[in-house]
Structure 1
């Protein structure tokens, strides 16, 4: 089923209204859809590099708005909607433990999930469920998603098709490694 969704999303990148479809995919991915918007962004930017910044901007705005829906699901409908989504992603067992520590590291959790391949929808729902301050959530979501989408756009704009394999296979790993090193550096400074 996931491969069918992936193929469907890739086909939509060629659609005449691809920007609108990208906005819809970006919105849905932030709250319940399993395929990240990068899947559409990459072929769209490769086809029209001059629109790279517009494409990244559309993904950013729609993703943050979708994140607000995820936040609302967590805040107002966790038991009915949020819990089943997290269960389908295999994250239900960690919910109780996660809740107790989430707001202590909420900024970093949202930032990390917004940049790395970790499902952003998990963090948006958990942010609402744990009562993370909305301003912190929105600000962090904007920073994280802008970093991710504009980095992809910049790499594709500058290097074109040869960088596609790196983005699809290794960008998430490299970003995760950077994030781990960044947090490790902060913890090292704090405890030394």
Structure 2
């Protein structure tokens, strides 16, 4: 899970939630530890994404942006960063829009590094600890729901993932 969390924040398309949720459901007693590992790995991956944007945008960064069809979104992000900076990082870190776009854009736009680290930690912790809290508190009914509707849930997750990429392409 840590590897997926790291990779998702810098280059990998699959969000860590697809591993995080089953892991917490299997070990609800360790929900917060699992969320902490996911958060730490995601922030470290975000630092790698920032480095891609800052140091490697002309080679690796542009390749990743084009791979995800996010070139226009990156230019729109520039405008958003100029006006909203911190809010962009905080909000995008909570949404299904791939976090790697935020991390690479932050490096590319040379957003204040220390502030980026703080904001990435806040937004990723909020997301993963909220999931952990919900699953720890309501895990048994959620697990039963998932067990009975796994196919439907798989399609919903796929739809959310596709929706995140579609929203990114429209930005």
- Alignment TM-score, normalising by the size of structure 2: 0.81
Q: What stretches of structure 1 move > 6 A for 4+ residues in a row?
A: none
Q: CA deviation at 1:161?
A: 4.5
Q: Does residue 158 in structure 1 map to residue 140 in structure 2?
A: no
Q: Is this contact kept in 2: 1:31–1:66, CA < 8 A?
A: yes
Alignment of 1:24-63 (within 5 A): 24-63=3-42
Residues 1:132 and 2:111 aligned together: yes
Higher RCO, Cα 8 Å, sep 6+: 2
User: For the structure 1 residues 153 and 58, does the alpha-carbon distance in structure 2 shift closer, same or farther, using more than 3 Å as the test?
Assistant: same
State whether residues 43 and 124 of structure 2, in contact with CA within 8 Å, keep that contact through their aligned partners in structure 1: yes
Q: Which runs of 5+ in 2 are unaligned?
A: 147-152, 161-171
Q: Is there any run of 5+ residues in structure 1 with no aligned partner, and where?
A: 1-21, 174-192
- CA deviation vs aligned residue, 1:122-156 (integer Å, no higher than 9, x gap): 00000000010001111110110010000000000
| Residue 90 (structure 1) aligned with residue 90 (structure 2) | no
